[in-house]
Structure 1
């Protein structure tokens, strides 16, 4: 096992700036002729200062910043730019000659400094970039910059998931395993400073290990509570003793909540007003910030921890309830997000995840289009039960629908009865006829296992495919049979599936629209699928609509929606999505990616297109990021599906 470690005293350079391309361009445009600047606001730690620093890199500028300690001192933020005693009028005159002034942490400015910034905006001779966090009250002179329409305001949202993943990969030096990625994003809640401090703590303690089977970095076990991490949770560590005891009880109860009746109502009111706890509609109480629980548990003494800790039997029933809830949602064809704190906590802490739960969790994720996450859950189950057929089935399905035929084949080796993964493995290899035949085998197997109520009686090994035999008109009652029939629709062969699927289901809606080659109806089916959480299915339906539309504008709209949804599906590469992916790239990137997929080296591409080798490499790097590829070995799948192989 490889461990990523660095010395605690190593001086780390800032992480490479990642994403925020639109926001970067907006700030840069605000500094061009005819513009007077911009105000950038957003949650603490979301990267406002780093974004502005990148936008003004190389520019001649002056900088000022507010601090909590100097809010009572006049012009404290501008002490390095102004004489010791100065009036507001004189300060405006002195700074009007500055071409660009960056004001950071403007929400912490003293009143005189805030008034100075406002007057500079009114005069319009100095371009201003004003950065303020959305925490607590902001000086009126600052808020009136945008409410009074003196400057435009850019509200910076937390970094999107895809860009956060790229940022972490750059900071760690490799891709993160999906459950680790989700955990870091959950703990940091969009605070990039906290995110970096967490990664630094993991590296200092050597807690990131390389998973050989996926070549990704993973973290299991408790949160490393370093001095820096403690600073982020100072609010819960420094409160009154009574409040601290209540917070500790909640911390040691995790991942389960506590009933409100078990706690002091007066203390709960104070903690809720401080934003430290949240109470749900069922009257149960949890800590608000996911970092606070680990920090409180680490700060408690050994005896207190032994007294407050819960035993495993306390969460076993909750884990079974989570599994039942996930299964129920799948049977109801509704896979919208569902909280699963107990299962996630087990995996995060490095405890054994029961294979049955892991398989259900993997299936739920796969149906949502979260293919890498589905594979990760399947692997969690296989760690304790390496031969579990359910987890192997989910791993194979997630891998095959991602175009990873090697992993899919390895997962089903020795399990010839896994027909559904075999179907998608055939589809990934371009053998559509073989895929359809395997789905027929899967239907036969369901009938043998569950009886005729599990599938349509008389469905033979070839009855599932169009023109491959006869199918009776009975409707499948089993969720497995419904999804097996729906696989035919996804593979472009609706045929009798449209008749056999439950008539009022969203899957039948999709099947009927595809059978009629009705682009508008396919788009409506895609919207219904997306509403129920089936993002990959929705992407495929939009992709099929793009091919069915006769109006080029409608086809372009469907294709754009398909690409947008497919990008949220963690590297999905299914037949329906074939040919869509390259549309995400610029014309030059498409040209270079196509040549790289054909096997040309960077040097050969550079010579053919009369470019520098470095330019080719930069284009490929950008293309990899957009396509979700790690190297050029994945490009052939992204460019075009492999040729159909004989069955």
Structure 2
């Protein structure tokens, strides 16, 4: 990190300050960056004088101006004397709200006289002398309110400060905690809470406050009465709370708390997240435990009517040293797991076990360990619980959860199926048998056999009427299989019926909701709806604070960006997803596969090979979803090395995938590699729904360059710019072979234009693509024509004859393949002219 904190994210207010001819008054909260902004605005200017007001200097008239004034004051008017003594083009008055009345009057006088340009900073909410307030009230100087940094501005500041990218969730967390305050943001970074993972900065460990930040926040909180402190302590450990205290109004007036109506309750919070950090740090261990016990008692006395009260009460009791009921702790652990606070969920589950919780509590702990990517630990607990004598439905719950841990975490689908089969000993209820059957079908499907999976689910349906749990498990599992098959129409019909049946409880299970979100992304991609796929991936990844979920949908985001030709952005998205992976993960294939794929397309096969080598150690082999992305990446890594034969052979292995959505991509990669005859018939036979597959079939069977032109336009309509560029480049080659030079140049120009929008991507089809070359004179004429000038106007400007301009422009059209000024303007704009 640079030794000096960079100035970034304030381009608009900086421009406003620099362009204010008479100066301006910058108003904002403490730490917003007012002084830094003013300093930046006058940087490299001559004749700048600074006045920094302080409370101490305010005890003396003109004390803040002492360094600018002669040592002996006159006997006459001190304001005129002081104003005449200020020999500067620009006067910067920092913290003008702290000026004494005479100094404030002097600033007002200087602004009024307009002999000196005045820039003043004022803390919002602080009392200021009337003469300073009059600067903007009387229209002498414009007022510039410095708003908190936006999320995007915060990202710009952090990337400049850290010299690298910052992970999306980490950026959001820092912005939320700092609330856009530049000083707070800087101190949070200096606290060491961030870790550099391959050039990507992530949140690491617990938040600690620097002494500067702690002292700044403590000064903002100020002196507190015993009752005020008591109230703030309750909020620091338990916000939001429905409090009723006589000190609330005065705390609100001091902007230390906020209050908002929530139904019948008035919910009170601290006004800033960091206030809680400082207050908690000032509490000793015994004091903190007492506050926690008091919070638990308050909620229990009110009846604990809200669903979240279970979790809050259990945590407060645990932190207060009186954990109590193991049932309460176990229910709280389930709630923490549902909201993906997995560290807390594990802590609560272990506390429940220590308090006497039995096998079902240990089963919950095993599930939590699996969610925390500690699959081997989870398997040990699952095995112990299953051997402890569980009966009936509890045994099935253990078997089904353990089966997914064996499949996803350890890559053992066969063992997962054995565990499920052993659980069904013939004495199970219908609900339990349905659970075993549907989960077994899901395991088989994830492992790659969609037909066998569907057969097992069909057989399970025939066992009897579906119970509510059966509807849920079957519904989500079947939807996932339909998505892997690319059967979009059936998927939509199925999910519409499912959600109508489930009603408001459809999203109660976070894991199933994640599975459904993934299925929706797959359907959108296989149908060619890239905008919808990107929205779904970004929404699903942003909704969940779970690192696994962010990695999962980060990989999908990278895939969609890559398909859309935004290969540089795809590389960044994939790198972010990879940084979130644990040492071993079922998501290693998708995350590292997308990273290697983007690296290969950007012409860095060495980096792609290194990424694929790492994937061998990281990826848990769970089936096609883990394998296919890596094989697709290898296709283009080999192609980037010039090994087209190896690339074709690898694409053929993807084309044999049991998942039609991957087979479709593998077959089309054969077309992109120049082997359409290997793919055309098989593409046409695929059962994938949607408008994309017919376009891929047309690409594979295109027999003329004109047909390829139409396919290229189709790809562009889908937003698949790299595919469109490749297709136009192929058309250009065929046109040239046929001696149709003008058509060849038009196709080549289109391919070049599209490629320029693909952020540096280069593939086999684009290797022979040259930028349309124009002579300097041709380029000069082309640019003027693209701007709308007539031939006569161009001739007059360049001192040429109109005939010369016309001939030159004709040569430009011939070389580029465009026909008019509008098309020429589009071409030159895409080319960065």
TM-score (norm 2): 0.45
More deviation, 330-339/433-442: 433-442
- Are the aligned partners of 1:287 and 1:293 in contact in 2 as well (CA < 8 Å)? yes
More off after superposition, 466-475 vs 104-113: 466-475
User: Which residue of 1 is the match for residue 51 of structure 2?
Assistant: 64
> Paired residue for 1:301?
284
| Partner residue, 2:680 | 469
Give, in angstroms, the shift of residue 115 of structure 1: 3.8
**Structure with a larger share of its residues in helix:** 2
* Aligned with residue 119 of structure 2, among 112, 129, 142: 129
CA 1:465–1:370 in 2, change beyond 3 Å: closer, same or farther?
closer
1:393 lines up with 2:590 in the alignment:
yes
Counterpart-to-counterpart distance in 1, 2:688 and 2:228: 56
Contact kept in structure 2, 1:423 and 1:436, CA below 8 Å: no
RMSD: 5.7
Provide the C-alpha distance between the structure 1 equivalents of 2:122 and 2:587, rounded to a whole number of angstroms: 51
Q: 1:497–1:240: structure 2 CA closer, same or farther, 3 Å change rule?
A: farther
Distance 2:608 2:286 in 1: 51
For the structure 1 residues 128 and 362, does the alpha-carbon distance in structure 2 shift closer, same or farther, using more than 3 Å as the test? same
Q: Counterpart of 1:412? A: 615
1:375 to partner: Cα distance = 4.0
Give the superposition deviation at 1:63. Answer: 1.5
Distance change (3 Å), C-alpha of 1:269 and 1:152: closer
CA 1:316/1:168 → structure 2, altered by over 3 Å: closer, same or farther? same
Q: Distance in 1 between matches of 2:184 and 2:688?
A: 50
For 1:315 and 1:420, the matched residues in 2 are separated by 33
CA contact (8 A) 1:60 1:100 kept: yes
CA contact (8 A) 2:634 2:650 kept: no
Asked if 1 retains the 8 angstrom alpha-carbon contact of 2:155 and 2:171, the reply is no
Per-residue CA distance 1:15-73 (angstroms, 9 max, x = gap):
3556756766665565xxxx433444455424332243343346333221334566687
C-alpha distance in 2 between matches for 1:252 and 1:154: 37
Show the counterpart of 2:187. 197
Matched, 1:52 2:42: no
Kept in 1: contact 2:257–2:268 (CA 8 A):
no
Aligned to 1:37: 23
Q: Of the candidates 205, 208, 211, which is equivalent to residue 221 of structure 1? A: 205
Question: Which segments of 5 or more consecutive residues in structure 2 lack a partner in the other structure?
Answer: 293-315, 320-328, 341-370, 372-508, 522-532, 562-568, 700-708, 730-745, 768-833
Structure 2 CA distance for partners of 1:26 and 1:424, relative to 1, 3 Å: farther
Asked if structure 2 preserves the Cα contact closer than 8 Å seen for 1:381 and 1:391, the reply is: yes
Q: Hey, what's the Cα distance between the residues in 1 that align with 2:79 and 2:751?
A: 60
- 1:171-182 equivalent positions in 2, closer than 5 A: none
Where 1:303 maps in the other structure, the secondary structure is helix
Displacement of 1:420 in angstroms is 2.3
Summarize deviations over 1:107-145 as a string: whole Å, max 9, x none. 444454344323322322112222334445666654664
Quote the Cα distance in structure 1 between the aligned partners of 2:653 and 2:30.
55
Aligned length: 481
Tell me by how many angstroms 1:146 deviates. Answer: 5.3
Q: How does 1:354-373 map to 2 (within 5 A)?
A: 356-357=548-549, 359-360=551-552, 362-363=554-555, 366=558, 372=572
The residue matched to 1:125 in structure 2 has which SS? coil
- Listed one character per residue, the Cα deviations across residues 529-575 of structure 1 (whole Å, up to 9, x for unaligned) are xxxxxxxx9x989999xx9xx9xxx9999999x79xx8xxxxx9797
What SS is found at the alignment partner of 2:632?
Answer: helix
Secondary structure, aligned partner of 1:160: helix
Q: Using a 3 Å threshold, how does the CA distance of structure 1 residues 98 and 376 change in structure 2: closer, same or farther?
A: closer
**Distance change (3 Å), C-alpha of 1:65 and 1:365:** farther
> CA contact under 8 A between 2:51 and 2:92: conserved in structure 1?
yes
Point out the structure with max Rg over C-alpha: 2
- Between the aligned partners of 1:430 and 1:153, the Cα distance in structure 2 is 60
C-alpha change, 1:217 and 1:338, in structure 2 (3 Å) is closer
Looking at structure 2, the residues matched to 154 and 175 of structure 1 have their Cα atoms a distance apart, in angstroms, of 31
Between 1 and 2, higher relative CO (CA 8 Å, sep ≥ 6) is seen in: 1
Tell me what 1:163 maps to: 156
Cα 1:465/1:495, change in 2 over 3 Å: farther
1:246 Cα deviation (Å)? 5.0
2:24 and 2:119 in contact (8 A); partners too: yes
- Once residues 755 and 109 of structure 2 are traced to their aligned partners in structure 1, the CA distance between those partners, rounded to angstroms, is 49
Q: Deviations over 1:488-542 (max 9, x none)?
A: 9xxxx963599xxxxxxxxxxxxxx9956389x86xx87xxxxxxxxxx9x9899
